[in-house]
Structure 1
Amino acid sequence: MSTNKARPDRRRAARELALQALYQIHMSGASAVDVQAEFLVDQDFKNADKRMFGQLLRGVAAQSDSLDTMIEQHLDRKLSDLDPIELNVLRMGAYELSDSVSVPYRVVINECIELGKIFGATDGHKYVNGILDKIALSHRAVEIAAKQNASSR
């Protein structure tokens, strides 16, 4: 398998594990450090980017309040009414859109949609898509404008 193909798969696996760890934190109230240590012992990271897993987990956990504020601006309901999976997918997406500018916004959104399809409620991924599109408009405006200009040429 080529390196170019393996990297996105390893990143997707890291996102899946990070979502599961964030869900565990959400449901149990455990610390990110404890959950990360548990996952590193109990999960198979052979096919996952360990570094990315740690960055996502620690970053989302540390910034959850500011991420929630960012997300709430675009919701049609209270944050507390969101399913825990959709909430944590949105937090991960908002985190990557605001802090991981090296990852294209479309990749972030598509990865979160896939996580929503795999782990979330039946149509939860559609809601995630709509909210992350709005967050991308405010946090990746330059990237979106450049993409639109390039496609209109």
Structure 2
Amino acid sequence: MSDMNTPSDSRPPKQPRTGLKTTGARKAASKSNRSRAREFALQALYQHLVGGNDAESIDAFTRNLAGFHKADSVHYDALLHGSIANAAAMDALITPLLDRKMAEISPIEHAVMWIGVYEFQHCLDVPWRVVLNECIELAKEFGGTDGHKYVNAVLNGLAPKLRAVEVAADKAAGGGGSAVAPSGPAAD
């Protein structure tokens, strides 16, 4: 019997449980209800940007997707309907910070920036650094290779304008002015 392999000999080494995938994105189990709402809102806004679908049709479709019941539906509603309703105003804020035409921006990064701008303006209960971090995470998970860097640059440029008091207080408290978002899960 000593010639038999023990179960421990045939198993791969245990990996630490960090809540992150090998890509650096958070695993589904470690996501908050609001993070899930942002993901569903991103998918819905993508449908709007790419397909030109109206909010009501997108909303009906998205609510039937697997896992939607785990999302904060109130936050999802606010992000989807608020972003579509305020799209032109949000694009007017984003455009001066772009190094190319809006039409050349990936629809994923565009939708993520809408989510960030909307939350900066309307979700004051979410700290600006959390908004930034959540948007970077969305861009990492769903966007192009370096799309998260672009999203970070644009939203980091808008934060002092849209959350001036909060950013200034953060800077004064030693939090620094530049927001390179932490890589761990956000605190909302």
TM-score by length of structure 2 reads 0.74
Q: How does 1:1-153 map to 2 (within 5 A)?
A: 9-151=32-174
Identity %: 45
- Supply the distance in 1 between the matched residues of 2:65 and 2:172 (Cα, whole angstroms): 47
1:44-81 CA distance string (max 9 Å, x none): 32321011111100000111010100100111111111
Q: Which has the higher helix share?
A: 1
1:106-130 CA distance string (max 9 Å, x none): 0000000000000000000001000
- Supply the distance in 2 between the matched residues of 1:116 and 1:50 (Cα, whole angstroms): 21
Amino acid at match of 2:78: Q
Give the CA deviation at 1:137.
Answer: 1.2
- Supply the distance in 1 between the matched residues of 2:69 and 2:122 (Cα, whole angstroms): 26
- Supply the distance in 1 between the matched residues of 2:166 and 2:65 (Cα, whole angstroms): 38
- Supply the distance in 1 between the matched residues of 2:43 and 2:84 (Cα, whole angstroms): 13
* Number of residues of Structure 1 aligned to a counterpart in Structure 2: 147
Amino acid at match of 2:147: G
Structure 1 unmatched ranges of 5 or more: 1-5
Give the CA deviation at 1:39.
Answer: 1.3
Query: Following superposition, which runs of at least 4 residues in structure 1 exceed 4 angstroms of deviation?
Result: none
Structure with higher Rg: it is 2
TM-score by length of structure 1 reads 0.90
1:1-29 CA distance string (max 9 Å, x none): xxxxx9x6100000000000100111111
Q: Tell which deviates more after alignment, 127-136 or 143-152.
A: 143-152
- Supply the distance in 1 between the matched residues of 2:110 and 2:68 (Cα, whole angstroms): 24
